[in-house]
Amino acid sequence: MVGVNTDDNDHQVNVSDVDSSSSSSSSLRIELDQLKAKLSLSNHFGSWVASDIDSSSSSSSLRIELDQLKEKICLLGPGVDKLNGGKVKGVNLGNWLVIEGWMKPSLFQGIPEGDMLDGTKVRFKSLSTNKYVCAEEGGGSGIVTVDREKASAWETFRLWRVSQSEFQFRTYNGQFLSCAREGAIVSTTSNYPSLTETFSIVRSSNDRVHIKLSSGKYLQVYSGNELRADYLGISGWEDNAATFEMTFDGENMGGEYQLANGYGYEKAKQVLNEHRRSYITQADFQFLSKNGINTMRIPVGWWIAQDPNPPAPYIGGSLAALDNAFKWAQEYNLKCIIDLHAVNGSQNGWDHSAGRDGSVEWPKSNEHIQQSLDAIEFLASKYGSNPALLGIQLLNEPKAPEVPLNTLLDYYSKGYNIVRKYSATAYVIMCQLIGADPSELYHSIANMGLSNIVVDIHFYNLYQSKFDTMNPAENIQFIKDSRKAQVDSLNTANRNGPLVFIGEWVNEWSFRGGSQENYQDFGRAQLDVYGSASFGWAYWSLKNVHDHWDLGWNIKNKSCSYKV
């Protein structure tokens, strides 16, 4: 049965409601009027279809319009189980149980040496030689020199923070700066940091630094271009062989790992407990239910499976918050999608994957993949029979080419089987490979013979150079043309295949500025197109310091003008 969802979930429009064999214009017009009446109850999805019907047409024209209407209804796809034939009209609860610092920068403001968190990229230039420290061959050769006039990847080191003043320095290829003893030459012979890879940084107000071995000797440039741990005393910040200028490359990372490790356990526990308690509340669920939202997509991290005592530096307590979300969802007749947003080793290197330094190591490690599957098993076993559960997303935003398609498909297959052990009806949601054609994953999954599966696609008119020069009108037209073509293509690719979910989108663009009317038109265009996706959509996000990313702000200020 092909249906169109409605706000009240009491009215459903089926292709079978239309008897296009009627011969008279009057009969066809009556059927059209009845169909339009039903469609008018289906909010913006229905109005998108009904607005195209001209019931003043002749009999032959009406029959053509009926055929076109049936095609459009088919594009809307079947209703979603557990939503009474409706579709997901959702919002992401981002930055709640997986931290994203850009969404609430104040969370990080109390961290000492807050510009030197895990993953920060630094470079060191000797003041005595005016040359940069370099890990030859990106660290792969084991040799460290101080002989580069310009800095690039081999001269850039990612910090691993041990304490407020102690750090380990990771090279481009993953090795660490190492010094076995006093007087020894610094090398990159270790892939696993320990005491011999740990250095103290003494920092001046103008980012001149001294780098000290744990035994007490300072690193200095020796014999022209070697780096040795044999400088005993520091007399000041003059241009001596042990003084370096430290510069930063790019923006700092601001994820869960950086926050927890930056504060240290006790302070991080205090900050995160308060954040989880106050950032998303029962009142938010009530507000959303009154404004037509029916589903919450809730990002969680892999460490939730080991709550209340997850591995350091992660802080327990996210499981209790997730329990609250399910309780509030039941109270307000909402559904929950649990989204495994962050996995050990990181699937994309971005802050919201909660990795340590931006490396993508999840697909290379069977242990990391198994930890992710263990997290899925934990979540499915705990919430699989909960009436508020709509689905479980196996992974958020795996990135191509770092995550190979075959690795991802194998993981998705195993994750699907785990969920099915605990629920025969929960939707199993599989995210696209970011940076690859979504249709490739879609068709691969469609051929796996699975049931109640969904492909999640994320659409932003951001993050690509082609959007940088688009004005509001061009952004809106891009939605109506390119995005619509993508959604329509996937909706019709396989009638028995995965449903299509626009799991993240936002009413924002790269263009600097735009009127409220521009934003309303942009939001309306996105709702029309993403509303046609067979599973539905979820806005990113409920709360954000940046107004247009904040669904609550959009609703209250009518910036994205709709009644969902």
State yes or no: pLDDT of 9 exceeds 60.
Answer: no
Q: What is the pLDDT of residue 12?
A: 38
pLDDT tens digit sequence for 114-166: 999 999 999 999 999 999 999 999 999 999 999 999 999 999 999 999 999 99
Is residue 474 a part of any domain in this protein?
Answer: no
Please state the rounded mean pLDDT for residues 247-273.
98
Cβ–Cβ under 8 Å, residues 395 and 418: no
Asked whether residue 190 falls in the same domain as residue 148, the answer is yes
Residue 75 tokens, joined: 């594009």
pLDDT tens digit sequence for 179-213: 999 999 999 999 999 999 999 999 998 999 999 99
State yes or no: pLDDT of 16 exceeds 50.
Answer: no
Of 248, 280, 302, the domain-final residue: 248
Which residue did the predictor score with more confidence, 152 or 28?
A: 152
Q: What is the pLDDT of residue 354?
A: 98
Is residue 71 a part of any domain in this protein?
Answer: yes
Virtual CA dihedral for 143, 149, 151, 156, nearest 10 degrees? 30
Distance CA 351, CA 345 (A): 12
Q: What is the pLDDT of residue 561?
A: 56
State yes or no: pLDDT of 425 exceeds 70.
Answer: yes
Confidence label for 58 from pLDDT (cuts 50, 70 and 90) = low
Which residue did the predictor score with more confidence, 54 or 434?
A: 434
H or E element, residue 439: helix 438-446
Is residue 478 a part of any domain in this protein?
Answer: no
Q: What angle do CA 176, 179, 182 make, to 5 degrees?
A: 165
Averaged confidence pLDDT in the chain? 89
Asked whether residue 395 falls in the same domain as residue 294, the answer is yes
Is residue 472 a part of any domain in this protein?
Answer: no
Asked whether residue 280 falls in the same domain as residue 227, the answer is no
Asked whether residue 388 falls in the same domain as residue 261, the answer is yes
CATH number for position 132 = 2.80.10.50
Distance CA 319, CA 255 (A): 18
Distance CA 40, CA 539 (A): 24
Of 233, 248, 263, the domain-final residue: 248
Asked whether residue 150 falls in the same domain as residue 263, the answer is no
Confidence label for 557 from pLDDT (cuts 50, 70 and 90) = confident
pLDDT tens digit sequence for 350-375: 999 999 999 999 999 999 999 999 99
Which conformational region is residue 183 in: left (phi greater than 0), alpha (psi within -120 to 50 degrees), or beta? left
Residue 315 tokens, joined: 């802080």
Asked whether residue 243 falls in the same domain as residue 151, the answer is yes
Confidence label for 17 from pLDDT (cuts 50, 70 and 90) = very low
Lowest mean pLDDT among 267-281, 288-302, 509-523: 509-523
CATH number for position 367 = 3.20.20.80
pLDDT tens digit sequence for 498-525: 999 999 999 999 998 889 999 999 999 9
Domain count of the chain? 3
Asked whether residue 333 falls in the same domain as residue 361, the answer is yes
H or E element, residue 521: helix 516-530
Note the pTM of the prediction, 2 decimals.
0.87
State yes or no: pLDDT of 27 exceeds 90.
Answer: no
Q: What is the pLDDT of residue 105?
A: 98
Domain that holds residue 205: 121-248
Is residue 3 a part of any domain in this protein?
Answer: no
Is residue 95 a part of any domain in this protein?
Answer: yes
Asked whether residue 37 falls in the same domain as residue 99, the answer is no
Q: What is the pLDDT of residue 25?
A: 57
Q: How many residues does the chain have?
A: 564
Please state the rounded mean pLDDT for residues 302-306.
99
pLDDT tens digit sequence for 433-482: 999 999 999 999 999 999 999 999 999 999 887 889 899 999 999 999 99
Asked whether residue 199 falls in the same domain as residue 336, the answer is no
Please state the rounded mean pLDDT for residues 272-281.
99
Asked whether residue 394 falls in the same domain as residue 320, the answer is yes
Confidence label for 85 from pLDDT (cuts 50, 70 and 90) = confident
Is residue 532 a part of any domain in this protein?
Answer: no
Asked whether residue 359 falls in the same domain as residue 260, the answer is yes
Residues 6+ apart with CB under 8 A from 291: 555, 563, 564
Is residue 470 a part of any domain in this protein?
Answer: no
Q: What is the pLDDT of residue 54?
A: 47
Distances 275 to 16, 115, 257, 262, 355 between C-alpha atoms, Å: 51, 21, 15, 16, 20
Asked whether residue 412 falls in the same domain as residue 495, the answer is yes
- State how beta strands 199-203 and 187-190 pair: unpaired
pLDDT tens digit sequence for 372-424: 999 999 999 999 999 999 999 999 999 999 999 999 999 999 999 999 999 99
CA–centroid distance for 147 within its chain? 40
Of 248, 270, 301, the domain-final residue: 248
Q: What is the pLDDT of residue 20?
A: 40
